[in-house]
Structure 1
Amino acid sequence: MNLKQDIWYKNPYVWLVITLPMTAVIGGIATVIITSMNQPDMVVDDYYKKGKAINLELKLYKQAEALGIEMSTVITDQKITLENPYNLPAVKIKLVHSTLKYRDLDFIATPNAKGQLTAPVEHDISGKWQVFIEPMDGSWKLRKEIALPNSNTILIK
């Protein structure tokens, strides 16, 4: 009996048979790890709950329309300025980036000496955004899609 022929790990065909399934297993594990670490922001788990929230939000937009609420705003790299014809003590402003959830920003605009509502901007706001404005009590809501930065006055209604 020849000892060299009986050692299985020296046969290249054995390694070929072992390598192909092991490659598939390692690739599968890598795929699971990559997909679990990089979940998409645009996917919603509970469509029913999201639909109910959308209906509530639509009521807030209709409430603003019924009250005739519109606000002029200027959004620059340094600050957000809103005209305050309704003498609001403060408003919530949300900038929602069109594609990147981690870039979404929330602001509270408070009155300045001129009677305008202002909020400082400390982040890069270049790009396409959805702007949401609502009073602190959440009784109505305004929305507009804009490209920033924009030093022109924008009417949000």
Structure 2
Amino acid sequence: MNALTENIKPWYREPWPWILMALPAAAVIFGLFYAWLAITTQDGLVDDDYYKDGLAINRTLDRDKAAKTLNIKAQLMVGDDPTHLRLMLQGGQSGTLPQHLRLKLLHPTRAGMDQVVDLTQRGEGYYEGALKSLGPARWHLVLEDTEKKWRLTGTWHVPKDHSVALDSKG
């Protein structure tokens, strides 16, 4: 045998072909994983009826203006127990505050994590309610009366904020 042929190994015993094949193989594996992920998870950012939501924007703006006209403001407080909410509501020209309020907690990217909390009046301008545990995020808050005449909005950074001011944007 020749000295050159004695030192040559078969291709599958060399490291470089395997290294070069690993990159395309990894791309195929990750591509299949991302395809599976796209199929099995719901995209919470896409709205099914965006046209109808666009038409409803004027009603939403009118509710913000109504809260500003009534001079309604609210302060949301969270104690040591993060599932117990307290809210102080002030304002309203009629002098009577509603018995029940609805607080929507909207996750910025996952609609499946959104919650609605019913708040009940426990004293003049003092409301309480219970919610499920929230994960850390910047939650969007919408406070409204049950008749949907006005609304207040705010942002709650969980778990950093223990108090959140809600106001009208109108």
Q: Please, what TM-score do these two structures have when normalized by structure 2?
A: 0.65
| CA distance in 2: counterparts of 1:151 and 1:57, whole angstroms | 27
Matched AA of 1:62: K
Counterpart in the other structure of 1:39: 42
1:92·1:106 contact (CA, 8 Å) conserved in 2?
A: yes
Aligned residues: CA RMSD:
2.5
| CA distance in 1: counterparts of 2:37 and 2:157, whole angstroms | 33
C-alpha distance 39-134 of structure 1, shift in aligned 2 (>3 A): same
Counterpart in the other structure of 1:151: 162
Structure 1 residues 111-142: Cα deviation after superposition (integer angstroms, max 9, x where no partner): 22575100013322432100000011111011
Structure 1 segments (4+ residues) deviating >3 Å:
33-37
Picking from 67, 83, 88, the partner of 2:88 is: 83
Counterpart in the other structure of 1:100: 110
Specify the SS of the correspondent of 2:52.
helix
Counterpart in the other structure of 1:4: none
C-alpha distance 102-47 of structure 1, shift in aligned 2 (>3 A): closer
| CA distance in 2: counterparts of 1:99 and 1:61, whole angstroms | 23
Identity %: 24
Ranges in structure 1 where 5+ consecutive residues have no aligned partner: 1-26
Ranges in structure 2 where 5+ consecutive residues have no aligned partner: 1-30, 91-95
Answering whether residue 147 of structure 2 is matched by residue 137 of structure 1, we say yes
Specify the SS of the correspondent of 1:44.
coil
CA drift at 1:78: 2.7
Q: Please, what TM-score do these two structures have when normalized by structure 1?
A: 0.69
Matched AA of 1:58: L
CA drift at 1:49: 0.7
CA drift at 1:34: 5.9
Specify the SS of the correspondent of 1:61.
helix
CA drift at 1:47: 2.5
1:75·1:148 contact (CA, 8 Å) conserved in 2?
A: no
